[in-house]
Copies of this chain bind each other. A is one copy, B any other.
Amino acid sequence: MRRTPVGRQTRARGIPEATVARLPLYLRALTALSERSVPTVSSEELAAAAGVNSAKLRKDFSYLGSYGTRGVGYDVEYLVYQISRELGLTQDWPVVIVGIGNLGHALANYGGFASRGFRVAALLDADPSVVGSTAAGLPVRHMDELESIVDSQQVSIGVITTPPGAAQQVCDRLVEAGVTSILNFAPTVLTVPDGVDVRKVDLSIELQILAFHEQRKSGEEPEEGRPAEEPARERAPGPVRAAAAKLRRAAGAAKDAKELGENDRQAVLPA
């Protein structure tokens, strides 16, 4: 059992990961209040705006410190600042985006980057026919420039929007160049050394989770795959034959599965 906190499991300064993941939600809600010049907000109101319950919000805030006032609530501007600081948004974060396809374009145009201290340091692609074009007013540069860009602009965050086949290779180069945080849009399990954080955004997975619940709503629970009682299966002498037996049992099933099974090499969002 690992006791040394590492990577995403880290509870830096005692702030639980689940709390960290909600801080951006609170920040967004607070920013909206700030723009409406609302001076203070109660945990109840803010929780409603962020879509959580107020007990959770107060618990979350308690990890940051006592920034509220009993009987009054929280000062909006003060909390905006404290959360921004806690999240590291009071500094500039240069980001490279690798793989300028449809999704890369979409991200390059994403206005939310700049507003949160994230600055697009460069757009990179390996395809010569893409290199030299512009996206969101920035030139697409060749992958060969990756190392010099990361080095000269002190880039520590990389976004991967390549096809899945290229993702690990791109990841390796990013890490080698000095990037220590990666946001991966390719449907690939990335292997990284200790000390490098990877977060994953995967449309396919989200849709599949929705489908799981949707299936149950319509009352069409999938029928049991295994028989109610153990069938009199042929005794097989060794492991290989045991597996073969199971394969036979699954024969009809496999046919169906084939229809879905192919095609996992595609990008979540092809570049």
Copies in the complex: 2
Q: Using Cβ atoms and an 8 Å threshold, which residues of chain B touch A183? A: 203, 206-207, 210
Cβ contact within 8 Å between A39 and B243: yes
A263 at the interface (CB under 8 A from B): yes
A241: min CB distance to chain B, Å: 10
Stretch at the interface among A90-98, A125-133, A140-148: A90-98
Instruction: Count residues of chain A with CB under 8 A from any CB of chain B.
Output: 119
Cβ contact within 8 Å between A24 and B269: no
Cβ contact within 8 Å between A12 and B212: yes
Residue of B nearest to A206 (CB): B199
Q: Which of A104-157 contact B (CB under 8 A)?
A: 105-107, 109-118, 156-157
Q: Using Cβ atoms and an 8 Å threshold, which residues of chain B touch A207? A: 93, 95, 113, 116, 118, 157, 183
Q: Using Cβ atoms and an 8 Å threshold, which residues of chain B touch A199? A: 206, 209-210
- Docked pose: A105 CA to B257 CA in angstroms: 29
B-binding residues in A (CB < 8 A)? 7-8, 10, 12-13, 20-21, 23-25, 27-29, 31-32, 34-35, 39-40, 49-51, 64-67, 69, 71-73, 75, 77-78, 80-82, 84-91, 93, 95, 101-103, 105-107, 109-118, 156-157, 180-183, 187, 189, 195, 197, 199, 201-218, 220-222, 224-226, 239, 242-243, 246-247, 249-250, 253-254, 256-257, 260-270
> Most B CB atoms within 10 A — which of A8, A187, A211?
A211
- Docked pose: A257 CA to B77 CA in angstroms: 7
Residue of B nearest to A218 (CB): B156
Cβ contact within 8 Å between B69 and A264: no
